Amino acid sequence: MTLRNIFFSFIFVSLNALGQVKYIDYPSPFHPTIGNSGMVVSQNQASSDIGIEILNMGGNAIDAAVAVGFSLATTLPRAGNLGGGGFMLVYLSNEKKTIAVDFRSAAPKNLSNNDFLFLKNNYDQRRYGYKASGVPGTVAGLLQTHDRYGKLPLKKILQPVIKQAQRGIQVSYDLSQAIGSADQINLDSESKSIYYQNGSPAKEHILMKRPDLAWTFSEIARNGEEAFYTGSIAKKILQAMKINGGYISEKDLKEYKPRFAEPIQTTYRNYKILAHPPPAGGAAVLLEGLNILENFSTDEIGPNSASFLHLFAEALQRGHMDRSRYMGDPQFYDVPIEQIISKKRASSLAKTINFHEATSPDELSPDSIFQEDENTTHYSIIDKYGNVVSNTYTLGYSFGSGVTIPGTGILLDNQMNNFAYQHGNPEVIDRSASIGNRFEPGKRPMSTMTPIIIFDENNELKLITGSPGGSLIPAAVLRVVTGIIDFNLNLGEATMLPRLHKDWPYKSLSLEKGFSKDTLKILESYGHELEQSKTMGSTQSILISAKGKEGFADLRRPNAGVAIQID
């Protein structure tokens, strides 16, 4: 071969290799899904797809949110629900307005002092069975929001959801494992008949049809909210309550109302963060944590550096401290939310942080302001017009109380377990003694659910996110937010940062796998008591960037998925 041929062969091979490198290499191993129209991100791909089906019918984000919320009762029964409650933020693009919707489950109103003492002294009775359930708010919350802001008729929205329940779903590995780990299902004959086969949890890959849920969806499609709270479904709920000694009454169902309010908010490095007001206590933790972190520069440190993780943990600990005492239902307790999320409060708390030493919980007191199970789920939706829904809802425990109302497919929550039954006990200082969350009939328990919407310095929509995870929710959401704002990560990178959680008044700092040993040693040298954790949360997020709308479904829990609308 001549020198000339060798030269051109080298150039060809080099250019070919270069072309391949450009084709196969990406900036990050975590790839958001990019679209330019509507997008749905939820904890189950099949439910996300139904959301897009609604958008393709001409529906808006609110229409899609109703369909996704109902669909998840079929696809993700441990958390998706009609028998629980939650919190939702709705952004109306034309009006440049955000509305907070509280559809949290509420304590039955007719409970006596003896009932309270029974629940206080019988831990399992307020976790499992009919006595554990609060008045469900999901149906009222979704449908009244749809009445106000939706476009399509309810019957049309629910048709794909009804068909999905009739045809059934393939049981995933995740669902099979979840059924096997929820002991309370064994305590209820109706639940066991649905989720067990031949005495064992439903196996992976089998078809699980849900004619019971299809009936319930059909009744709601015909008669709306009335079917659930006063009509055919209500009658089945009340009959089951009577037979099994539950507390929910005809009056409780008839009088349940979701609450529509303004969000609470703060700014963080010129971004505006909107979150749900009390009793969504996790929102307060997030906003207070951001306010504290804003007192420190992050320009010279990385998202996984010991310096930033230390500040993150210290800020989070202080946020949980204030949540522990003064967060509750504002219709029963005057929550000092403006003080908790004020810049003044954050500045004062920031001054108590030592850069190289972990703060003992004994050195912190929530009184200075005056001188939750993990099986929740979240979904984020945006339509082509820019309307947004950020919704987090829950049954409490995985599969809630374990109770399914016969003939309906409706699993009920176990939110009666979420009140502070140790209030008044001077020996208890944690959340179980919270003055703001003490039990009262008709009250809605404090929650760590934290749906948020973020706008940039030009008041343009930036981020929609939220997570399941009980007390871990604020940490999961805070990690995503700081990853994007402080460290300019893409949505996938910010989502997949290893997470950490620091509560109060506990000493341990919980961490997912993924941090370097050197970093862990430094954190230990600061005095943190490290504890390895399983995965924390499952954020379902949409980011508005120069590329368009980026969606990312957290990889921490299987079967989540992004669905996009193709115009």
Which are the catalytic amino acids?
376
Fill in the DSSP letter of residue 470.
G
Question: Which residues, in sequence order, are CB contacts of 364 under 8 Å at separation 6+?
Answer: 317, 318, 321, 352, 504, 505
Inter-residue long-range contacts of 301-307, CB under 8 Å, 24+ positions, other chains counted: 302/487, 303/482, 303/483, 303/486, 303/487, 303/489, 303/497, 304/497, 304/498, 304/515, 304/516, 304/519, 305/519, 306/519, 306/522, 306/523, 306/526, 307/355
Distances, alpha carbon 365 to alpha carbons 189, 310, 326, in Å: 46, 20, 12
Inter-residue long-range contacts of 486-490, CB under 8 Å, 24+ positions, other chains counted: 486/269, 486/293, 486/298, 486/303, 486/308, 487/298, 487/302, 487/303, 489/303, 490/27, 490/28, 490/30, 490/32, 490/543, 490/545, 490/550
Alpha-carbon distance of 158 to 39, in angstroms, equals 19
Helix/strand/coil (H, E, C) string of 496-508? Answer: CCCCEEECCCCCE
In the block, tokens 């504002």 appear at 330
Residue 388 is inside which H or E element, if any?
Answer: strand 388-394
Fill in the DSSP letter of residue 556.
T
Alpha-carbon distance of 98 to 452, in angstroms, equals 11
Cβ contact 249:110 at 8 Å:
yes
Question: Which residues, in sequence order, are CB contacts of 159 under 8 Å at separation 6+?
Answer: 221
Strand partners, 273: 266, 454
Handedness of CA 63, 83, 104, 390 (dihedral sign): negative
In the block, tokens 């009804």 appear at 162
Residue 20 is inside which H or E element, if any?
Answer: helix 3-24
